[in-house]
Amino acid sequence: PKGTAKRDALCAAEVEVQAMWEREKVFECNPSYDSSGKKDDKFITTFPYPYSNGHLHLGHAFSLTKAVFRAQFERNRGKNSLFPFAFHCTGMPIQAAANKLKSEIALYGTPPQFPEEDPAVRAKMEAELAAAAQAKADKAAATGAKGKGSKTKLVQKTGTGIVRQWNILKRMVPEDEIPQFSDPVHWLRYFPPIGVEHMKRFGSGVDWRRSFITTAVNGYYDAFIRWQFNVLREKGKVLFGKRNNVYSILDGQVCADHDRSEGEGVGPQEYVLIKQRVLAPDHGQERHGKMEKLLNTEEGKKGVYLVPATLRPETMYGQTNCFILPTGDYAAYYIDATDEVFIMSARSARGLACQAYDAANDIYFTKEFGKIRQLETFSGDELLGLPLSAPNSTYEKVYTLPLLTISMGKGTGVVTSVPSDAPDDHVALQALKDKPDFAAKYGITPDMVEPFEVVPIISIEGYGDASAVFMCEKLGIKSFNDKAKLAQAKDETYLKGFTIGVMTYGPHSGKKVSNAKPLIKDEMIKAGQAHLYFEPESKVVSRTNDECVVASTDQWYLAYGEESWCSAVKKHVLDDEKFTAYDTASLEKYDATLDWLKEWACTRQFGLGTFLPWDKQWVIESLSDSTIYMAYYTIAHYLQGENNLNGEESKSPENIKVGDLTDEVFNYIYRKGFPLPEGSGVASDTLTKMRDEFRYWYPMDLRVSAKDLIPNHLTMALYNHAAIWDDEPELWPRGYYTNGHIMVDAQKMSKSKGNFLMMLETINKYSADATRFSCADAGDTLDDANFSRDTANAAIISLTNEAAWIKEFLTDTDKSTLRSGDDLNFMEKVLENETNRLVKATEDCYEGMQFREGLQKGWFEMMIAKNNYKSWCHDSGIAMHERIVRKWAESLIILICPICPHWSETLWKDIGKEGFAVRAPWPVVGEEDKLFTRQAKFLRDSLKNFRTNAGKAKKGWKTATILVADGYPEWKINAILWMQSQYNTSSGSFPPTFMKDLKVWSTTNVSEKKKIKLTMQFVSFMKREVDEVGEMGMDIKCPFDQSAILNESVAYIKAQLNMAELSVASVDDPELAVPDRTSQNVSPGKPVLWMR
C-alpha cells in the first residue's frame, strides 16, 4: 500500500495482542488429565533450533510457520498443544567468527582501518584481482575450456571479494560493542535473547519457560548431553578408531556439515591411485631435463610414479597411455611410507599427507601428518611425452599425452586412459591420431600414439567388448565439443559395465565386473601397484575459509548404518501407522539416507559444545548434540525456567543444581525401569513430576524442518531416539514435515538483489500477520516456495477491510434491519452449507500440512461465499440473515487463526466473544450437503455462462429467457447409462481404461456416425462433472428444481446482467418455439440464456 496507516494499525494491534498473550501466559502448556486420570489429547511440535550467530531471516520464518501454523491448529482443535523453542550455539561457526574478528582487531586496530578503505590501496587490490581474472581467462582460452566469470570488485562478497567480520557485525550490532564479540561466549549472551524478542513479535506461540542455549555455558543442557552420550556408549553406539572424514587442516579437526560454508552433505570419495612408473625419457626432448635429473637423485632411483586416481581399477588392463593437462601445475613429492616419489597436483598431495598408508599399523603416507616434502615442480608440458610402465597394462610401455579438459580440482590432475571403456579417453586418443598437427603442437610424436590400439577387456551385452567405441559411433561423437553426448555415453557405459559387464581379459576373465572389481583392487594394492586415496566428493570449504581434504584420524564416531540399528529405524519410518513424512518424496529421501549414512565423526578437538564425558580432549560436535534435545524441552522449565537461556543456577524454579543432574537422575526421568536415585540433591517429588511430564509429552508428534536436514539432523534424530529408547519404540518420533527453501518474488534471496529479508524487517514492513499470510501462500512442497511481497501488501488490505466489515455488521448494524429465525432463503442455505464444507476442507488441509490450500479454502473461498451471498441479498433487495453471517464470521476467524492469530484475536474480542481466539475450539458444523453444493455451483456456473451469452447479444435484442431442461435426449441417456455401468461406487472412480473403452462402446453402439464424436465429447464432459461432484453427476434427471433456484434468484441475475426484464421457462414450452440450434445446448443442470 502507498500509505502505511493500515499496516501500522495491524502492527499496533499485534503488539497489544502479544502483550496480552504474555500477560495471560496463553502459550504455557502443562500436562492435563481428565477426571479419570487419563491424559488429555496433546500435540508437541518442534523445530530445529536456529544457529545463534546473527538475526533470524525470512528463510527461518518461512520454515518456522509450518510448525507455528500446525501447533496453533491443534490448539484450536482442543488439544494441549506445546511448541517449545531453543537456540543452537555448538560448533565452529561462532568460534571461527570470533577468531576472525580478534585477528582483524589485532591487525587493523579498533575500529579497524582496513587497507581496502584507502582508495589507492583499493584500486591496487582491484587491479590485482582484475589481472588474476584475466590470467585465469587466458589460461582457459589456451586449453579450450570455458572459463567462469571472476569477481573483480571488492564489493562483491563472494569469490575473490573481501569479507570482514567487523563489517558483518556492524549491520547487526552497535559499533562500539563489536570488540566484545572477539569472545565467543559473548555471542551466546547477545543473539539468543534478541531471537526470543523477534520470535515473540512474529506471534510464534512458544512456551518460553522451556527455552535454552546449547554448549557447556548452559550447565543443565551440558549435563543432559553428557548423559545422552554415556547411554549411547553403554549401548555400543559410540566407537573409536581411525576413520576417513572430511577435514580442515587449518582448523585441525573434522569438518562436519554445520562447520562448512560450502559443501554441506558432501562426504569422502574413495579412489585408487595407480602407480605408473616413469621410465627414462627416450625421445631426447629438452623439456625432460628436470625429470632426468629427478630420476638420478637418491629418492628418484627408488621409483618415480605418476599417480592417476581412478574409480575403475578393474579397467587397468586396457591402459594405452596417461593424460596430463599441458597448462597444469604438478610437483614431485617424497612418500615416506613407500620410499618413493609421486607426481601429482599440490591439492591432492595436501590431502594424501593426511591419510593412512596402513591404518591398522598407524602408518601414514608421510612422517608428519599434513606435511609432505616437495622435491621438484613441473609444468604439465614438462611431463608430456614421458614413457611409463603402467601396472596391468598389456603394453610394456605407454606415454603421457595431452588432455585439455582435465580438472585440477578433482583427483590428482593425472588421468589414466582406457579407450575401450571410457568414451572421453577414446575421443582424446583418436584426436591425437587423426590430427598430427595437434599432437605435434605438444611435442607428441607418432610413435607415442600410433601403435596403441583399443584393448577389449570387458564384454557388455548389446555393447560389444569395447563399449566406449560402440557408444561414440552410435551417438556420432567426433570431438570433445560433443559434451552432452559424451556425458550420456560415459554414464551409460559406466553403469552397464558395472552392472552387466563381464571381464574378458586377465586372471578374472569370465567374472562379472561387479565381483571382479574389489578383487582386482585388493590385488593391486597388495602388489604395491596401487594405493587407496580419498578426497571430498565435491569442494568443501570450512567456516574458516579452508578448502577441506579427507583425513584419516583417530576419532570417536557414532556407528550409524550398523545393520540392526539401521533396520529398526527403517522399519519405523516405513510404517505409516507409526510415522508420517507427509510426502512420498520426503519418505524416499529418508529411506535413501538410511541406506548411505554410515559412521559419523561425532567429536571435535575444539569449538563450542559439550566435552565428551569419558575423554575430555574431545568436544561433541553440533549435529551430534542436537538429536534428542526435544526430550529436554519436556523438563527444561523445571531446570531453567523463563528468561534463563544460559541456565543460571540462581534462577532455577526448583532450585536444582547442575551438579545434582547425575546419570542416575536422567535415567530415572527418561528411561523405563530405572529406580528413583537415592540421596539425590533433587527432591523426589520434583523428579517424579519431571518423569511424568516427559511421559506426558512424548512421543514427539511433529518435527518441522527445511529439506536440507533430511540427510543429516533429521535422520540422526531418528537413529538416536531408536538407540536411547530401544526398548520403547512407542517413544520414537511420529512425524517429520520438510519444506523447500524460500525465494522472494521468484528470485533466490540475495543481498546484492536487495531481496534478502530479515524476519523483523519483514514484520515491520508488512506486519506479522501479513508476513505469515504470504508465507502460507508461498507453497508447501519440497520445491522452493515463493514469498510474494505483493501478496503481503494485498494481505494488509484484505485483513483490514474484512475486519472492518465483520465488525460493522456484527456490532454496529441495527439488528432490526437484519433477518433472523429459521426461514432461510436459497442463498442463506448455500452460505451455511459452504461454511460447513470449507470448515472441513480447511481442517483436512491443515492436518495434511497443506497450508497454501488451507488458506485458499479457509480464507479466499470463504470470502467468495460471503461476497456472493452479500451481492445476492443486495441485488434481490433482501436483508442479510444475522445468524448465518455470524456463523460464517466466527468460523472464518478460527479458520484463519493458525495463520493470522493476531487478526483473529483482535476481531474475536471486537465481536464480543469470551476467552482467547487462540484457545477457541474449532468450529462445530454440520455435514456438507453435496446436493446443495451442486446447486450453488449450478447458480454460479449458470451466471458465468449467462454473462458470456449476454456479451454476444446483438443490438436491439430486448427479450431474454433462461431455458431449462429436466431430462436428456435418448442418445445422451444411453451414454449416461453406459457411464453408470462403468463406475465403481466403492472406489468412487472410473477404470483407468475408461476413455479407451468409451471409444469402443461409442463406435459399436451409436448408429449415426456424426453422433459418435458428439457422444464422446458429452461423456468426457460428464466425466469431469462426476470427478467433481461424485455419482450424482450421472443422474438422468436433474436432482433439484432448477427453475425454483433461478426464479428465486432472478432479481440478482438481472442486476448482475444489467437487464430490465428476464424470465425462466422450460425449453420444451411449445409456445416459445425455441430454435434447434439453441435447444440442443440446453440440458439438465445446464440452462441457457436465450436472447432475441
SS3 content of the chain, % helix, strand, coil (to 5): 50, 15, 35
Name the residue among 164, 205, 272 with its Cα closest to residue 22: 205
Whether the predicted pLDDT of 624 surpasses 50 = yes
Concatenated DSSP letters of 491-545:
HHHHHHHHHH-EE-SSTTTTSBHHHHHHHHHHHHHHTTSEEEEEEESS--EETTS
- The string of pLDDT tens digits covering residues 270-292 is 999 999 999 999 999 999 999 99
Q: How many whole angstroms separate alpha carbon 797 and alpha carbon 290?
A: 77
Whether the predicted pLDDT of 47 surpasses 80 = yes
pLDDT at 968 (0 to 100): 86
Whether the predicted pLDDT of 258 surpasses 80 = no
Indicate the helix (H) or strand (E) that contains 722: helix 715-724
Q: How many residues does the chain have?
A: 1092
Predicted confidence band of residue 1039 (pLDDT cuts 50, 70, 90): confident
pLDDT at 152 (0 to 100): 44
pLDDT at 160 (0 to 100): 36
| Cβ atoms 181, 173 nearer than 8 A | yes
Q: What are phi and psi of 787, to 5 degrees?
A: -85, 115
Q: How many whole angstroms separate alpha carbon 672 and alpha carbon 658?
A: 23
- The string of pLDDT tens digits covering residues 580-600 is 999 999 999 999 999 989 999
Instruction: State the chain's mean pLDDT as an integer.
Output: 93
Concatenated DSSP letters of 44-62:
EEE-PPPBSSS--BHHHHH
Whether the predicted pLDDT of 142 surpasses 70 = no
Task: Out of 249-258, 359-368, 655-664, 787-796, pick the least confident.
Answer: 249-258
Mean per-residue pLDDT for 780-808? Answer: 95
pLDDT at 155 (0 to 100): 44
> Which pTM was predicted?
0.84
- C-alpha dihedral over 282, 284, 290, 294, to 10 degrees? 30
User: What proportion of the chain, given as a percentage, has pLDDT over 70?
Assistant: 97
Other Cβ atoms less than 10 A from the Cβ of 117: the count is 11
| Cβ atoms 390, 313 nearer than 8 A | no
- The string of pLDDT tens digits covering residues 966-975 is 888 888 889 9
- The string of pLDDT tens digits covering residues 124-137 is 887 887 887 777 66
Mean per-residue pLDDT for 403-409? Answer: 93
pLDDT at 151 (0 to 100): 46
Task: Out of 146-150, 190-194, 487-491, pick the least confident.
Answer: 146-150
Mean per-residue pLDDT for 175-198? Answer: 96
pLDDT at 161 (0 to 100): 56
Task: Out of 48-52, 89-93, 640-644, 721-725, pick the least confident.
Answer: 89-93
Mean per-residue pLDDT for 39-65? Answer: 96
- The string of pLDDT tens digits covering residues 539-548 is 999 988 899 9
- The string of pLDDT tens digits covering residues 97-129 is 999 999 999 999 999 999 888 888 888 887 887
